[in-house]
A and B are shown apart, each in its own frame.
Chain A
Amino acid sequence: GQSLEQPSEVTAVEGAIVQINCTYQTSGFYGLSWYQQHDGGAPTFLSYNALDGLEETGRFSSFLSRSDSYGYLLLQELQMKDSASYFCAVRDSNYQLIWGAGTKLIIKP
């Protein structure tokens, strides 16, 4: 079957760096996206990787290795407002959009 695996919960300290991993098993691959969702809020787009390497957008970076079927989201200089759930999503060769179960990021002062 097709699946995306990401940790269910990650805890970090304010000001630190945290990495949220995502491994995928899909029939084909057209790109990996990351979304952020605060409690009670709607998911919002963070990044999209179609090619290998690191994409940086401010404090957030996203990495992809297609040969390893693996990606990660890197958050730097963590702020309390970064406490949220983070979802990875992959579109496979059948154009099916497959989502991970989400990683709850808990930030402590």
Chain B
Amino acid sequence: ETGVTQTPRHLVMGMTNKKSLKCEQHLGHNAMYWYKQSAKKPLELMFVYNFKEQTENNSVPSRFSPECPNSSHLFLHLHTLQPEDSALYLCASSQERDLSYEQYFGPGTRLTVT
């Protein structure tokens, strides 16, 4: 148990569906992150929230929409996705938004877009 939970663990959705990924951290951290992990590619940082404020958006398509209602919860809303969006989506948190602070990762949501 890493202290970061993600639901659902697996998701299959069509290109016209709307779904949301949920992440919750029980560690009292101030920073939360969404990553995309595709096979044999570097982890792609998608969004960063620090004290509930979005601080980074790495040119992510608008079909991905993050939401951070409080410092413990992070959502990723998905709509009209493409098959190339199929990947493992990882949530992470850290005490502060700095590389020197260890990031704690959740188990990920395996997303398949059909």
Query: Interface on A for B, CB 8 Å cutoff?
Result: 4, 8, 30-31, 33, 35, 41-45, 48, 50, 87, 89-91, 95-102
Flag whether B54 is at the interface (Cβ < 8 A): no
Looking at B12-20, B66-74, B102-110, the stretch in contact with chain A turns out to be B102-110
Interface residue count for B (Cβ, 8 Å)? Answer: 23
Residue in B4, B56, B102, B105 whose CB lies within 8 Å of A48: B102
Residue in A41, A43, A48, A87 whose CB lies within 8 Å of B100: A48
Interface string of B90-114 (1 = CB under 8 A from A): 1010000111101111111000000
Interface string of B36-60 (1 = CB under 8 A from A): 0000111111000000000010100
Chain B hits for A42, CB < 8 A: 2, 4, 90, 105-108
Chain A hits for B108, CB < 8 A: 42
Chain A hits for B102, CB < 8 A: 45, 48
Q: Is the pair B2, A95 in contact by a Cβ cutoff of 8 Å?
A: no
- The answer for the CA separation of A87 and B42 in the assembled complex, in Å, is 8
A–B pairs, 7, beta carbons within 8 Å: A30-B98, A44-B105, A95-B97, A96-B58, A97-B45, A99-B45, A102-B42
Q: Is the pair A50, B106 in contact by a Cβ cutoff of 8 Å?
A: no
- The answer for the CA separation of A97 and B103 in the assembled complex, in Å, is 12
Residue in B2, B92, B99, B105 whose CB lies within 8 Å of A91: B99
- The answer for the CA separation of A104 and B41 in the assembled complex, in Å, is 12
Contact A101 B58, CB 8 Å, known A42-B90, A42-B108, A48-B102:
no
- The answer for the CA separation of A62 and B61 in the assembled complex, in Å, is 36
- The answer for the CA separation of A99 and B44 in the assembled complex, in Å, is 7
- The answer for the CA separation of A109 and B16 in the assembled complex, in Å, is 48
Chain B hits for A30, CB < 8 A: 98-100
Chain A hits for B105, CB < 8 A: 42-44
- A95 CB → nearest B CB, Å: 7
Q: Is the pair A87, B43 in contact by a Cβ cutoff of 8 Å?
A: yes
Q: Is the pair B100, A31 in contact by a Cβ cutoff of 8 Å?
A: yes
